[in-house]
């Protein structure tokens, strides 16, 4: 029997954060955060394979999918997204929940769990490390680049968004995201396109393409990582994020972060596939995620309920 799926809308001061919900109101809450330039459709194929005892709340992050764009002059940054997660959690009255994050969504999840460790019981990172460190010597350069990109965007004359046929939009998406299958592109475009006169425009805010100006060093990343109280599962893909890193420093940072997770008895596994394997081939990822949810979340919840019943 298929899970019930419904639309989600959380009001924020600049508009709304939209998303989709799978499962019953009584299921254990699992917040799902997508990667950069994607939307909550990235979880469409994976969630139906996961335990039905959970309630999966997948959001379109600000500026993505069907969610409102940030106000003029406002940067897209990890701390801003973390604040959005807090807003969503408060609006949905989530006191303690699990987070599944892919890529950028995992970095947001890692930072949120470091800042609000008491609110997160388990963390699942899909082809990401929970933090994205930048070489300390590069931080000022990257910050300047992001500020310059915003400045240029604001000072040039208003450009009309390019209108595409659906076929051309698919073509462009495949070219920009070689790790996506055509079926996966079609799924993401359900929320990634808006129909206008003459065709379609991409729904995401152009400003999400600018460099994220809020950067942290590997030392800051490790300090934040140490504050996470949740159980952690890291699911890497053989042809994924680590392949994207061309700089030796970045590869060194990723191995350092992973080793620290292992040293704290967290789980790190690797599956065959590319950066979007959870969407292209969810059967490769689902068994690890399902077992983790069962052992680290659902069985723990059952144990607590049993103890509470025994104490009555």
CA torsion 191-50-22-232 (nearest 10°) is -80
Known active-site residue 9: no
Q: Look at residue 1 and give its three-state secondary structure.
A: coil
Query: Which of these is catalytic: 103, 221, 231, 237?
Result: 103
**What per-residue string of b and e applies to 166-198 under the rule 16 or more CB within 10 Å gives b?**
eeebbeebeeebebbeeebbebbbebbbeeeee
Judging by DSSP bridges, how do beta strands 231-239 and 120-126 pair with one another? parallel
What span, in angstroms and rounded, lies between the C-alpha atoms of 174 and 172?
5
142 Cβ contact list (under 8 Å, min separation 6)? 134, 211, 212, 213, 215
Distances (CA, A) of 5 to 24, 56, 98, 113: 9, 9, 19, 27
Q: What is the DSSP letter of 164?
A: B
Length reported for the chain? 312
Which residue carries 């359900």 as its tokens?
A: 190
Chain centroid to CA 99: how far?
9
95 Cβ contact list (under 8 Å, min separation 6)? 119
What span, in angstroms and rounded, lies between the C-alpha atoms of 63 and 69?
4
Chain centroid to CA 247: how far?
23
Nearest to 10 by CA among 76, 92, 70, 118: 92
Name the residues annotated as catalytic.
103
């Amino acid at each position: 029997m298929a899970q019930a799926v419904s639309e989600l809308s959380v009001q924020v001061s600049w508009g709304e954060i939209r998303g989709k919900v799978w499962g019953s109101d009584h299921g254990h809450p699992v917040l799902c955060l997508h990667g950069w330039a994607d939307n909550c459709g990235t979880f469409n194929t994976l969630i139906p394979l996961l335990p039905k005892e959970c309630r999966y709340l997948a959001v379109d992050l600000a500026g993505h999918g069907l969610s409102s764009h940030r106000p003029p002059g406002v940067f897209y940054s990890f701390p801003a997204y973390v604040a959005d997660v807090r807003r969503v959690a408060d609006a949905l009255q989530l006191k303690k929940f699990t987070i599944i994050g892919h890529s950028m969504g995992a970095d947001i999840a890692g930072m949120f769990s470091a800042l609000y460790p008491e609110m997160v019981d388990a963390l699942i990172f899909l082809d990401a490390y929970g933090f994205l460190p930048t070489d300390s010597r590069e931080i000022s350069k990257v910050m300047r680049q992001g500020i310059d990109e915003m400045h240029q965007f604001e000072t040039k004359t208003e450009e009309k968004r390019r209108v595409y046929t659906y076929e051309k939009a698919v073509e462009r998406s495949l070219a920009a995201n070689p790790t996506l299958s055509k079926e996966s592109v079609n799924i993401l475009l359900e929320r990634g396109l808006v129909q206008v006169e003459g065709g379609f425009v991409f729904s995401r805010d152009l400003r999400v393409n600018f460099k994220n100006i809020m950067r942290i060093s590997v030392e800051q990343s490790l300090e934040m990582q140490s504050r996470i109280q949740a159980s952690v599962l890291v699911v890497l893909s053989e042809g994924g994020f680590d392949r994207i890193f061309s700089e030796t420093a970045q590869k060194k940072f990723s191995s350092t972060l992973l080793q620290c997770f292992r040293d704290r008895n967290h789980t790190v596994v690797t599956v065959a596939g590319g950066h979007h394997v959870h969407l292209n081939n969810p059967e490769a990822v689902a068994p690890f995620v399902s077992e983790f949810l069962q052992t680290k979340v659902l069985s723990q919840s059952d144990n607590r309920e049993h103890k509470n019943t025994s104490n009555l």
